[in-house]
Amino acid sequence: MRKRAEPGPREHDGFGAAPLDRDCRLKNLRLAGTAGHSKPDCDTKGMKRLSRRYGLWSRLRMFLIFLVGLYIAIPFLVKVCPAIQTQLVFLNLVRFPYFIDLKRPQDQGLNHTCNFYLQPEEDVSIGVWHTLPAVIWKDAQGKDQAWYEEIMSTNYPVILYLHGNAGTRGGDHRVQLYKVKLSVKLWILFIFAGWGDSAGTPSESGMTYDALHVFDWIKARSGDNPVYIWGHSLGTGVATNLVRRLCERETPPDALILESPFTNIREEAKSHPFSVIYRYFPGFDWFFLDTITASGIKFANDENVKFISCRLLIMHAEDDPVIPFHLGRKLYNIAAPAKSLRDFKVQFVPFHKDLGYRHKYIYRSPELRQILR
């Protein structure tokens, strides 16, 4: 049997393999060299990205820690320094609009208005705007304070307007209110001590005393003409304080008008948008509400209306974001059955939220003249 010949080495395979292996080795060396040079660059860039991310997160974490610390610290700061809470209630240092001269009401389009100052007590001076009805605007041109005081004895009803917190008597919504209502009435608007250009420090008792002083000043000059008290927002608290005192001394006004009122300062503070972030904070009442009342600030409209004996009108917009509508409704529900008011008209006028009157634009209502009659 013939033996199968073993296959011998193929020379052409061996000959072709050598250059191929050499090329592959060179290629691998080049790749290895390239990888060796690029790896440090990639590592450096990665480290920089990680460092930036860590630095950003670290700063964010420190900022969040600061916010949490501030959030916790503020209630203790308010408790230790009650003056902070008092300022938040009155906001008398917020004096917008800033660049107007309150001595020149004509700059605000009130050419029939006289500016002067009264002094309820020593070291206290309150600025007053005395604004006349439209029918005697022309007669008022160039007249002095004495003439304005004399005109009060003529046959025109007088409105004493008690403003809310913040701003001055030159605030835009207040000026627009005076213009709308000036068809048949005299307006006496004054700024409480500590607001605008009035000297003094605000307090509930001081504001009530200022209002009483101005009311007596009006009655001394207006004779038997009707006098109405109009309070807005925080001014409703002063208005009910004033009217309660007037009724107790048997010199009530002819009517009390409350625009955007609340029940008492504790309920208002708890419902105010500023309190949202602390409303469920442990000890909220002790830190904030007790601090307010301990400072002598109560503005207890819900108690005062039980002792008022004159016509009462309450107006409130459903979309009021500052003093919730339900507080105005609640105040009316307290006042309506009060024995002291059983012989007088008690009226509640709501304004639908679609009208957009919010907290201080009820003066835009075309029905307001009819409501006030």
* Radius of gyration for the chain, computed over Cα atoms and rounded to the nearest angstrom: 38
Q: Which of 222, 302, 309, 320 is labelled catalytic?
A: 320
Whole-angstrom CA distances from 19 to 23, 24, 27, 37 are 6, 9, 12, 27
Judging by beta carbons within 10 Å of its beta carbon (0-12, 13-18, 19+), is residue 312 exposed, middle or buried? buried
Beta bridge partners of 366: none
Helix boundaries (H) for the chain? 11-80, 82-90, 137-140, 145-151, 172-180, 204-222, 234-248, 265-271, 284, 290-294, 301-304, 325-335, 368-372
Single-letter amino acid code for the residue at 225: N
Round to whole Å and give the CA distance between 220 and 349: 32
Whole-angstrom CA distances from 28 to 23, 25, 31, 36, 39 are 8, 5, 5, 12, 16
Q: Is 260 a catalytic residue?
A: no
Going by C-alpha positions, the residue among 199, 192, 261 that lies closest to residue 232 is 261
Mapped onto helix, strand or coil, the DSSP state of residue 177 is: helix
Mapped onto helix, strand or coil, the DSSP state of residue 360 is: coil
- The answer for residues whose C-beta is within 8 angstroms of residue 237's C-beta and 6 or more apart is 204, 231, 262, 265, 299, 300, 301
**Sequential DSSP letters for 212-238:** HHHHHHHHHHHTTS-EEEEEETHHHHH
Q: Is 101 a catalytic residue?
A: no
Q: Which of 233, 272, 302, 316 is labelled catalytic?
A: 233
Round to whole Å and give the CA distance between 230 and 249: 20
Q: Are 211 and 178 in contact (CB under 8 A)?
A: no
Q: Is 233 a catalytic residue?
A: yes
Residue 144 backbone zone (phi > 0: left; psi -120 to 50: alpha; other: beta) = beta
Task: Give the catalytic positions in this structure.
Answer: 233, 320, 359
